[in-house]
Structure 1
Amino acid sequence: MAGFFYKLKRMKKRWWVLIGVGLVILIMILANLLNPNRNAKMVMVEEAKRGDIIETVSGPGTVKAKSEVSISTYVLSRVIDIAVEEGQEVKKGELLVQLDDTQYREEVVRASAGVRSAEAALEIAERQLVEGRETFDRQRSLYEDGLISKAEYDRSLTTYSSLETAYRQALSNLEQARALLVAAQDNLSKTRYTSPIDGVVTRINVEEGEVVVPGTMNIAGTEMMVISNMGVMEVEAEID
């Protein structure tokens, strides 16, 4: 009899355990069903507006200055001084390259002497022309008065015409001499190269002692260096 009551007691405990577990599960189900936010999701709301769509791409390419100035020679000479280095910042007007100017200084001296000589020759021709004009006017007056022959008058006219021609030639010679002087001075100025812009020396292509040659219609002259304005850059890239 005692064994029967013991088994009955154990069966009661098991049922209470099962009932308890069932109640817990029922409460969880009801709580889930009664929760209004069980399926809620976080949503960000913004006002619609016009904008840029940015897409990132990649590819091989190069970055370089948008503005570059090539410093090339305009005269045949030899480099005697490179005043800057690659990567150096320079200001507008700063010395970059000095070429040997010996030959061009001598040309300026000769051209200056030529101008002085032509000026002196023109002065003489002008004086002779004035004197010749006076002589011709007298001879013409005498001829008109019948005091000299036609042959004498013609000789006077020929002499005066020759003086006019000599004066015009002297004037032309002076103009040519002055043009030669201007050209010589221009060539001399082209032996000294300064930076035309504020920038950076990005490339030097010559060495001191090297002979540089000017360009022609079909052949480019010696590019001595490149100055770049690094304030504005541009990219050249290959994009698939």
Structure 2
Amino acid sequence: MSTSEQYTQTDKLITRITAWIAGVILLGLIVWGAISLYNLYLYEETDDAQVQEYINPVTSRVSGYIRDIRYEENQEVKKGDTLIVIDNSEYTIQQQEAEAALANARAQVQVLNSSIETSSKTSQVSQSQIAAAKAKLLNKEQDYDRYKKLYEVESATKQQLENVQAALDIAKSDYQSAMENYQASLSKVNDARVQNAVLQAEIKRREAVVGRNKLNVDYTIITAPYNGKMGRRTIQQGQAITAGQTLAFIVDQDAGKWVIANFKETQVRHMAVGDNAEVEADAYPGQKFNGRIVSLSPATGSSFSLLPPDNSTGNFVKIVQRIPVRIRLTDAVNTIEPLRAGMNTNVIIRKK
């Protein structure tokens, strides 16, 4: 066999193999294209999606120094577990001071009640004195009338009439004095009752102060508001903190997990609340998670941004906007437990 014939056969073999490879590749592309077109026709898909959870700050309601930290970074906690203890010495002293002031106000009420009772008894005595003075005045008036008649018939001297007149004037004065003393005792009782109402209001204010100080003492113990998992720890024992300062972050495990999928505006027309969704996390390829659409955003993501775009400025460039779609993961808790907030996912929703 000549060299030219050998090259010709080799070229034919290479050409045949190349043709077969090209055919297989072409067939694969056709199959892939057909599957893609089929999926595109039946499903809406996006890779612009992330896992979300409620991540809430743990803040302090009072100022002070951290006495104890009872959690570790990334630790799971139960509702009511103590996380942080703040030194409560100052708040305890304030509470004791407020309780002492409240006790003093209540003691003043007791003293005032005793004063009211004494004034009431005094007014009763004054009433008795009025009765005696009135009887004495009546007697002196009768004596005066009798001596006046005797004087007119010259059976009594002028000096006797003047003495009876003086005794009558004294009796009138005593009666008037008794009446005034009685009115004064009644005024004291009324004043004491008004003062008692003032003290009752002061007691309520003191009780409110005591309640507030008790709250401050309670606020020095910071507990977990729900079952969750603690985030990064950034505080140390002995650190000074202020009211309202964020001390830690806790992930709410009771609220569940969901996915925010940002679909193109041209895709959402095929979606409705209640539609099923399939979620695949980049961290766990091949593992599918089930979900259900619970809401669609009322506006595009850019509309909620700090500086929303203004298309009326003259530099308009049309860009396809995205609509956030909230998808609640419906699998069992132990199934979705590996998912973490912020993980990237792919979401597939079947068209209706």
**How many residues are matched?**
181
Task: Give the CA deviation at 1:222.
Answer: 0.9
Aligned residues with identical type, % of pairs? 21
Picking from 56, 69, 94, the partner of 2:81 is 94
Aligned match of 1:83: 70
Aligned match of 1:222: 245
Aligned match of 1:48: none
| Distance in 1 separating the partners of 2:262 and 2:236 | 35
Aligned match of 2:241: 212
| Distance in 2 separating the partners of 1:70 and 1:176 | 33
Aligned match of 2:168: none
Aligned match of 2:47: 58
SS in 2 for 1:226: strand
Would you say the 8 A contact 1:99–1:192 is kept in 2? Answer: yes
Aligned match of 1:16: none
| Distance in 1 separating the partners of 2:127 and 2:216 | 51
Aligned match of 1:139: 126
Counterpart AA for 1:224: L
Contiguous gaps of at least 5 residues in structure 1: 1-51, 215-220
| Distance in 1 separating the partners of 2:222 and 2:199 | 37
| Distance in 2 separating the partners of 1:136 and 1:168 | 21
Superposed CA offset, 1:54-107 (max 9, x none): 444323x54331x34432111122222221122110011111111111111111
Picking from 171, 192, 208, the partner of 2:221 is 192
Would you say the 8 A contact 1:203–1:227 is kept in 2? Answer: no
Picking from 204, 217, 223, the partner of 1:175 is 204
- The 5 Å alignment of 1:88-167 reads 88-140=75-127, 142-143=129-130, 146=134, 147-149=175-177, 150-167=179-196
Task: Give the CA deviation at 1:182.
Answer: 1.0
SS in 1 for 2:46: coil
TM-score by length of 2: 0.46
| Distance in 2 separating the partners of 1:76 and 1:228 | 24
| Distance in 1 separating the partners of 2:236 and 2:108 | 46
TM-score by length of 1: 0.65
Counterpart AA for 2:120: R
Aligned match of 1:31: none
Contiguous gaps of at least 5 residues in structure 2: 1-40, 135-174, 265-352
Flag the structure with more relative contact order, 1 or 2, with Cα contacts below 8 A and sequence separation at least 6: 1
| Distance in 2 separating the partners of 1:173 and 1:82 | 39
| Distance in 2 separating the partners of 1:72 and 1:81 | 15
Task: Give the CA deviation at 1:239.
Answer: 4.9
| Distance in 2 separating the partners of 1:53 and 1:68 | 35
Superposed CA offset, 1:164-189 (max 9, x none): 23322332332222221111111100
| Distance in 2 separating the partners of 1:238 and 1:206 | 36
| Distance in 2 separating the partners of 1:180 and 1:192 | 19
SS in 2 for 1:228: strand
Quick check: 184-193 or 224-233, which moved more? 224-233
| Distance in 2 separating the partners of 1:234 and 1:106 | 47
SS in 2 for 1:57: strand
Superposed CA offset, 1:112-142 (max 9, x none): 2122222221111111111212222332454
Query: Measured at CA, do residues 205 and 62 of structure 1 come closer, stay the same or move farther in structure 2, by a change above 3 Å?
Result: farther
Query: Measured at CA, do residues 233 and 114 of structure 1 come closer, stay the same or move farther in structure 2, by a change above 3 Å?
Result: same
Would you say the 8 A contact 2:55–2:250 is kept in 1? Answer: yes
